[in-house]
Chains A and B, each alone.
Chain A
Amino acid sequence: MRVRIEVNGTWHERDVEPRRLLCDFLRHDLGLTGTHVGCEHGVCGACTVQVDDRPARSCLMLAVQADGRSIRTVESLSDPDDVEMHPLQEAFHTHHALQCGFCTPGFLMTAESMLGRVEDMTDEELRASLGGNICRCTGYQSIVAAVRAAATACSSRAVANRSRA
């Protein structure tokens, strides 16, 4: 089947089998291997991407279901030349919020969608919101710290931009 899907701002047209999962479409058809595939049945969160700007499991969506929709993957976070990282990626680096890195793309795409709300969240709420993503290395403490730091960085950056304008 012919599908047309916008991924990170670019429209892609491909022929796919109806059974092609969105995660495999991204990785195998488009070569975007930043999205990781863990459990393949919606439990681990590693494959989380954003569909129309909201997080979704790319292993629980068929590519044909994404026809006409807009997808954002972890590759969209850094600037196009891959020189400057997103504040969330910087914070994950600074706070050692990853070890093996397998779960990281899923955490980043989940966390990115909630950055604007993080400063109003209690730690319990923040942990609950990240609860759909599993990490076997870090014990989560450093991930929570990194998301907090990134939210603070983003809001102070927004304030700076406003006063400059």
Chain B
Amino acid sequence: MKPAPFDYVAPADIDGVLEALAGPDAKIIAGGQSLVPMLNLRLARPALLVDITRVPRLAHLRREAGALRIGATTTHRELAESPMIAAHWPLLQFAAQHIGHDAIRNVGTIGGSVAHADPAAELPAALLALEASMTIVSKSGSRSVAARDFFRGYLQTALGPNELLTEIVVPPTRPYARSAFAEVTRRHGDFALAGVAVQLDPSPAARVVLFGAGDVPLRATAAEALLVSSGLTALDQAADAAVADVHPGDDLHATGEYRRNLLRDLTLHCLQQVATRIEEERC
């Protein structure tokens, strides 16, 4: 239950990080709230840990030309407590509030959550619903990958071994956009058995994302199309459509069928929440 030996560096800038990542079997650590358990259980045995929390240029949280730019080492607590995020990207705030406990949120980072890519994690689902993109740098330059292309499989992402996720960019939300977020956990703070993130724009555009539903967070495109064509009049049908092609697996914590039922009911719950809020504002 103690980590196997490794070397450790904490570079002060991005170039130093990329230099360190060039070596074999190097692994990035930020908050370590997913990595250190894996080190302790010896599920991960990297040769070198590259601590990126001493790089000032990865710690920003600012609005630029309407878009939100989140440095990779921004903590869940900073997301949950930011008045700017609460005002313009409430879905991100809801998601951050659902992660673990104070002790986890104080240390864990958005970059860590995104790079770890647990299929039941909250932030990847919210970022997919908000059509965010990930900025990735390596020695050969910088590239931007949309959330829908970033999450590749169970704990698998578009990140290469020598690349660093530096920033998450969230596009501006439309005025009168509405968000809802819901999940079911056995105990408060656990990873979700299943969860749903919903972002509705008046354009009209709808994004419904299911998590804990498969190897990656999933866009429920059939439900989205139904919401765009018939508005908020057919919520039950939209919830049915959301899970029509979703077949979560069984595991120790829940059967696939139970998860599927949860996903349907959580979708309906989120859509009802959004509909009620719009109705209230009309009065």
Contact = CB atoms under 8 A, between A and B. Distances in A.
Nearest to B1: A40
A21 B103 contact: no
A21 B2 contact: yes
A60 B32 contact: yes
A110 to B, nearest CB: 7
Nearest to B51: A65
B36 A56 contact: no
Interface stretch (A89-97, A126-134, A152-160): A126-134
Contacts, number: 90
Nearest to A47: B103
Contacts of A40: 1-2, 40
Given A60-B36, A62-B36, A51 B106 contact: yes
Given A19-B4, A21-B2, A60 B188 contact: no
A110 B37 contact: no
Contacts of B100: 132
Task: Using C-beta atoms within 8 Å of the partner chain, give the interface range for chain A.
Answer: 20 to 34
A55 B41 CA distance: 23
A45 B36 contact: no
Contacts of A113: 102
B107 interface: yes
Interface string B1-23: 11111111010000000000000
A42 B189 CA distance: 12
Contacts of B49: 18, 62
B53 interface: yes
B2 A19 contact: yes
Nearest to B32: A60
B107 A56 contact: yes
B36 A42 contact: yes
Interface of A: 1, 17-19, 21, 24, 40-42, 45, 48, 51, 54-57, 59-62, 64-65, 67, 110, 113-114, 127-129, 131-132
Given A17-B5, A60-B107, A128-B189, 15 more contacts: A19-B4, A21-B40, A40-B40, A48-B103, A54-B106, A57-B104, A60-B33, A62-B36, A62-B49, A64-B10, A67-B10, A127-B188, A128-B188, A132-B100, A132-B189
